[in-house]
Amino acid sequence: MDAEVDHYTVLGLPSGKEGAALTDQEINKAYRSKARELHPDKRHNDPNAHANFLKLQTSENKLNRKGQKDSKRRKMMSDLEEKERSVFSLDPTVRAREEEEMIIAQKLKDEINKIRAMHKKTMPDNAKGKEGIDVEGVTLDMEKIVKVSWEKVGNDYTAEGLREIFEEFGGVEDVVIKSSKKKGSALVVATIGNVLGNLSNPLLVLPLQPVVFSGEKNEADGPKSSNLVGAGYQAREDSILEKMRKAAARRQKCDT
């Protein structure tokens, strides 16, 4: 029987697509208006007053429950769509950092090619073929190239400033700076010793070409290391930190 009742018509509302588009507020407003009209207290002479009023209440309950189900369904679909978007889209901060790192890496690669091209023009013919990296007949001694990095705090470094620091240990052929917002880095082509930089913002100097040990030496010294490149970097970093501590101690002694 209930399936034959048009609950929208009972409340005096349009049915079909128009009724399905009605909001909960519109349904409640129609119910209040119809309830005042059909309330039994106003229909003392109508024997069907109670039955009609009960029918009105039943229709209002049916439509409200239907509206609640539709609302829950829409919210569930909205939540699912939001989860899908969050899964398939990276956090904007992470994406920006990755893009920045890719740009810096590409620029460093371009500058290495630039340095190689410069060596091709300045290198004498009899120097070609020596140990190094050969690119289209150009030999570049990778042992002379170091990568310098520092935090973007305290005193920052410029290409000229880095050149002055490294020239204390020998000739400097080129300095290329590529920095991000938080970290600075540079490629230096020079013959160097141990370089510290400014104590307020020390430099981390690592060879661009990692240190590689021969297999025979590894077998003679003991078990093969699982991370020779990392060990080489760590040894260089420990040496730099020790130099910094000694320099700081000498400065403190002079101040006192």
Same domain, 20 and 118: no
Q: Quote the CA–CA distance of 208 and 181 in Å, as a whole number.
A: 22
Q: In what order do the strands lie in the sheet with 204-207?
A: 172-179, 183-190, 145-151, 204-207
Q: How many CB atoms are closer than 10 A to CB 95?
A: 11
Q: pTM for the complete prediction?
A: 0.28
User: What's the domain range around 131?
Assistant: 99-209
> Is there a domain that residue 236 lies in?
no
Number of domains making up the chain? 2
Check residue 234 and give its pLDDT.
Answer: 53
Q: Distance between the two ends of the chain, CA-based, in angstroms?
A: 102
Q: Residue 206: which of 187, 223, 219 has the closest Cα?
A: 187
As beta bridge partners, residue 22 has none
- Measured CA to CA in angstroms, residue 193 lies from 139, 168, 182, 245 at distances of 23, 9, 27, 17
> Is there a domain that residue 25 lies in?
yes
Check residue 229 and give its pLDDT.
Answer: 38
Same domain, 121 and 200: yes
Q: Residue 2: which of 49, 64, 50, 59 has the closest Cα?
A: 59
Amino acid at position 70, single letter: D
Walking along the chain (256 residues) 10 residues at a time, the average pLDDT comes out as 72 80 82 85 84 85 69 67 66 73 76 73 57 44 69 76 76 72 68 50 56 44 40 54 65 65
Number of H helices, E strands in the chain: 8, 8
Check residue 207 and give its pLDDT.
Answer: 54
* Residue in the structure block whose two tokens are 């050969």: 134
CATH code of residue 37: 1.10.287.110
Same domain, 204 and 141: yes
Same domain, 32 and 69: yes
- Cβ atoms of 195 and 175 within 8 Å: the answer is no
Q: Residue 190: which of 121, 141, 129 has the closest Cα?
A: 141
